[in-house]
């Protein structure tokens, strides 16, 4: 096809340069290249979904629009080396009554591979369209599309709980920063999920740039320039020190990333100490996938923001951690996992005890959540169950 001629010429030069700079690992040499997309049919509405690439060496991604016209979709990554998951394909609303298609094309040294996405026309019924819906319903209340990122738990959206995510730029490349499930009734995020490693932490300092989250309507989030009343700290769910690049660090000070936390004895001691431990673990991993969250059951009551709006004070907090380390010899393959559960109270000690540390299965039983739902796509259902059931005390890595 003529479409590929320019791409192939560029890719040949790209591969020649890459061969002089990079050598693929033995583990990657037997990878069968391929490409997948989370949904092959979407509604007319604008949105995004994820593209996963499987490859052993250098690759290019391009988007083709076979029907012509102006481009109406784009990718967050268009080149790379080795397998990569969670590339975002963003697409615009289809104002036409007719459906349209695009192809996402993976070009590798072993050939070209493509997946097709069809977007419904505005007058037709797509997967997100329900003819029984009230035409006066606010489209902002519709559930958001959910990527297949490895850190994500099961995402349960409803009228009051909405899924959001933020991007950031690392070394000139756009990548995911963190995602969260926002509760506009209780004015806290049930959880915040994010990948963590040395490169994503970056370098810089704390900005203290408190502000509104631009993704969430202002009247659906608290105003916390002056903190909470009653002496509660503005407790980060994604710690400031986990994102030190200035632009990314500012996003950690969004009001949606805060919950009212006991200061002395919790946020300023055991919780802060553990956040440092998690960063140390991330620096000793290829990537650490983190879910930090709070439980509203057993709430300590209400705190109030600067406008007098009530914010529910969580009754407990947790962290679910999934480590990926290709060279690890202490886990089930390259993955291991651990859960940590904290009552929201003042702790006399600043270290993690055996009562706080547990398997992911045990944490799921306590919280009622389903963590790392996309792990089975990586390792298979049986292996994922084994990883989540493993006692972290049996893996020396999780002893702090």
Q: What is the pLDDT of residue 171?
A: 79
Q: What is the pLDDT of residues 276-308, one digit of tens each?
A: 999 999 999 999 999 999 999 999 999 999 999
Q: Same domain for 364 and 223? A: yes
Q: What is the pLDDT of residue 328?
A: 76
In a domain, 130, yes or no: no
Given a contact cutoff of 8 angstroms between Cβ atoms, the answer to whether 193 and 187 are in contact is: no
| CA 334 from centre of chain | 20
Token pair 């490859």 in the structure block, residue: 55
In a domain, 134, yes or no: no
Q: What is the pLDDT of residue 197?
A: 94
Given a contact cutoff of 8 angstroms between Cβ atoms, the answer to whether 156 and 165 are in contact is: no
In a domain, 81, yes or no: yes
Q: Same domain for 67 and 177? A: no
Host H or E run for residue 8: helix 3-21
Q: What is the pLDDT of residue 139?
A: 47
Q: What is the pLDDT of residue 390?
A: 95
Average pLDDT over the chain, rounded to an integer: 86
Q: What is the pLDDT of residue 85?
A: 78
In a domain, 286, yes or no: yes
The distance between the two most distant Cα atoms of the chain, rounded to a whole number of Å, is: 70
Q: What is the pLDDT of residue 349?
A: 84
Q: For the chain, how many structural domains are there in total?
A: 2
Q: What is the pLDDT of residue 44?
A: 84
Give the confidence band of 249 by pLDDT, cuts at 50, 70, 90. very high
Domain, as residue range, for 19:
3-119
9's CB contacts (< 8 A; 6+ apart) are none
| Cα–Cα dist 357/293, whole Å | 15
Q: Same domain for 172 and 259? A: yes
Q: What is the pLDDT of residue 141?
A: 61
Pairing of the two strands 41-42 and 111-119: parallel
Q: Same domain for 288 and 196? A: yes
Residue 189 bridge partners (DSSP): 182
Give the confidence band of 393 by pLDDT, cuts at 50, 70, 90. very high
- Name the pTM for this structure: 0.70
Q: What is the pLDDT of residue 125?
A: 39
Q: Same domain for 114 and 161? A: no
Query: Is 60 exceeded by the pLDDT of residue 356?
Result: yes
Q: Same domain for 208 and 330? A: yes
Q: What is the pLDDT of residues 169-178, one digit of tens each?
A: 887 878 899 9
| Cα–Cα dist 61/68, whole Å | 18
Q: What is the pLDDT of residues 375-384, one digit of tens each?
A: 998 899 999 9
User: Among 64, 86, 119, where does a domain finish?
Assistant: 119
Q: What is the pLDDT of residue 134?
A: 41
Q: What is the pLDDT of residue 400?
A: 66
Q: Same domain for 182 and 87? A: no
Token pair 């030190």 in the structure block, residue: 244
Q: Same domain for 176 and 76? A: no
Helix (H, G, I), strand (E, B) or coil at 158: coil
- The alpha carbons of the chain give a radius of gyration, in whole angstroms, of 22
Q: Same domain for 213 and 79? A: no
Residue 290 bridge partners (DSSP): 194, 321
Token pair 């962290």 in the structure block, residue: 319
Q: What is the pLDDT of residue 36?
A: 87
**In this predicted structure, which of 15-24, 156-165, 246-255 has the lowest mean pLDDT?**
15-24
User: Among 119, 152, 177, where does a domain finish?
Assistant: 119
CATH number for position 102? 2.60.40.10
In a domain, 65, yes or no: yes
Q: What is the pLDDT of residues 75-102, one digit of tens each?
A: 988 999 998 877 888 888 898 889 999 9
Q: Same domain for 157 and 105? A: no
In a domain, 45, yes or no: yes
Q: What is the pLDDT of residue 140?
A: 54
Given a contact cutoff of 8 angstroms between Cβ atoms, the answer to whether 145 and 157 are in contact is: no
CATH number for position 194? 3.40.570.10
Q: What is the pLDDT of residue 175?
A: 86
In a domain, 125, yes or no: no
Q: What is the pLDDT of residue 123?
A: 61
Q: What is the pLDDT of residue 33?
A: 85
User: Among 119, 151, 175, where does a domain finish?
Assistant: 119
Q: What is the pLDDT of residues 110-148, one digit of tens each?
A: 888 999 999 988 864 344 433 333 434 444 566 778 888
Most confident of the ranges 24-28, 61-65, 322-326, 369-373: 369-373
In a domain, 132, yes or no: no
Q: Same domain for 7 and 154? A: no
**In this predicted structure, which of 45-49, 270-274, 331-335, 362-366 has the lowest mean pLDDT?**
45-49
Q: What's the first-to-final CA gap in the chain, in angstroms?
A: 57
Copy the structure tokens of residue 265.
């004895």
Q: What is the pLDDT of residue 73?
A: 93
Q: Same domain for 277 and 353? A: yes
Give the confidence band of 236 by pLDDT, cuts at 50, 70, 90. very high
138's CB contacts (< 8 A; 6+ apart) are none
Neighbours of 197 (CB within 10 A): 16
For residues 191-214, average pLDDT:
95
- What percent of the chain lies above the pLDDT cut of 70? 86
248's CB contacts (< 8 A; 6+ apart) are 168, 169, 177, 202
């Amino acid at each position: 096809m003529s479409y590929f001629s320019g791409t192939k010429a560029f890719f040949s030069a790209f591969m020649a340069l890459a061969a002089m700079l990079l050598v693929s690992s033995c583990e990657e040499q037997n990878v069968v290249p391929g490409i997948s997309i989370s949904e092959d049919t979407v509604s007319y509405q604008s949105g995004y979904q994820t593209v996963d690439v499987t490859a052993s060496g250098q690759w290019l991604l391009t988007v083709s629009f076979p029907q012509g016209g102006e481009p109406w979709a784009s990718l967050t990554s268009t080149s790379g080396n080795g397998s990569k998951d969670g590339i975002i394909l963003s697409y615009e609303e289809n104002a036409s009554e007719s459906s349209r298609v695009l192809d996402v094309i993976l070009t590798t040294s072993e050939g070209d591979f493509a997946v097709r996405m069809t977007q419904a026309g505005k007058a037709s019924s797509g997967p997100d369209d329900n003819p029984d819906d009230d035409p006066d319903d606010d489209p902002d209340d519709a559930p958001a599309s959910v990527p297949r990122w490895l850190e994500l738990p099961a995402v349960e959206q409803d009228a009051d709980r909405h899924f959001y995510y933020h991007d950031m730029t690392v070394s000139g490349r756009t990548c995911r920063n963190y995602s969260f499930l926002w509760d506009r009734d209780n004015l806290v995020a049930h959880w915040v999920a994010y990948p963590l490693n040395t490169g994503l932490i970056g370098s810089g300092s704390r900005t203290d740039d408190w502000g509104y989250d631009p993704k969430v309507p202002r009247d659906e989030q608290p105003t916390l320039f002056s903190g909470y009343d009653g002496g509660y700290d503005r407790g980060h769910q994604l710690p400031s020190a986990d994102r030190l690049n200035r632009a990314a660090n500012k996003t950690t000070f969004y009001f949606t990333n805060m919950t009212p936390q006991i200061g002395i004895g919790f946020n300023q001691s055991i919780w802060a100490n553990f956040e440092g431990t998690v960063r140390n673990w991330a620096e000793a991993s290829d990537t650490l996938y983190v879910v930090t969250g709070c439980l509203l059951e057993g709430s300590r009551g209400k705190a109030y923001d600067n406008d007098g709006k009530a914010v529910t004070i969580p009754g407990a907090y947790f962290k679910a951690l999934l480590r990926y380390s290709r060279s690890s010899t202490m886990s089930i393959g390259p993955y291991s996992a651990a859960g940590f559960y904290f009552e929201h109270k003042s702790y006399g000690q600043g270290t993690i005890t055996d009562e706080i540390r547990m398997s992911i299965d045990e944490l799921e039983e306590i919280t009622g959540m389903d963590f790392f739902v996309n792990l089975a796509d990586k390792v298979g259902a049986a292996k994922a169950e084994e990883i989540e059931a493993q006692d972290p005390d049996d893996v020396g890595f999780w002893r702090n």
